[in-house]
Amino acid sequence: MGKITNIVLISTTLIIGLAGTSYLLARPHLWNEVSEARVFLDGQYVAEASIYRSSEGQLLVRLEDDSLFIFNPSIRDIGLPSRSAFVFLPTYAFSTDLVPPPVVMSGNKVKVEHDMNIVVGSNGFELTNSSGVRIAVELPAE
């Protein structure tokens, strides 16, 4: 009986250790869903949109048409990442790169070809996409 208990105890310890190590290695790649955040397109609430926050505080917005953008609050800029840079899981987005490189930044007028008119408030931000649609993101008060 003691031998079986030791095997179970060692196996359980190894499994917990591997799971913990895997989580610690994957943690920088995980973006947590901000469930209380809301997205509006031209003033209309969009229930299908999702907002995720990185460990560095960047916000990933995923719209219902699967378009993505990353808002970096420290520099108040928008990046447009490649869709292949993320895998979406329930309540998480997993970045395939430690810091997903945006394809284009809002300040690059050659590639963006329009003024995104970024407005940053205390509990969110707004921008205009390439189709002229005004996107507003409201974040929960911290």
pLDDT tens per residue across span 43-87: 999 988 999 999 888 899 998 887 888 888 888 788 888 888 898
pLDDT tens per residue across span 110-142: 444 567 788 888 888 888 887 888 999 998 876
Beta strand 124-128 with 119-121 is antiparallel
Q: What is the mean pLDDT of the chain?
A: 80
Mean pLDDT, rounded, for 7-30: 71
Which of 4-13, 39-48, 104-113, 133-142 has the highest average model confidence (pLDDT)? 39-48
User: Over pLDDT 70: what percentage of the chain?
Assistant: 78
Q: Are 70 and 84 in contact (CB under 8 A)?
A: no
Listed in sequence order, the residues at least 6 apart from 129 whose beta carbon sits closer than 8 Å to its beta carbon are: 67, 116, 135
Per-residue pLDDT at 109? 47
pLDDT tens per residue across span 83-94: 888 989 889 898
Only one residue has tokens 């926050």, namely 53
Per-residue pLDDT at 25? 54
- 118 vs 108, more confident: 118
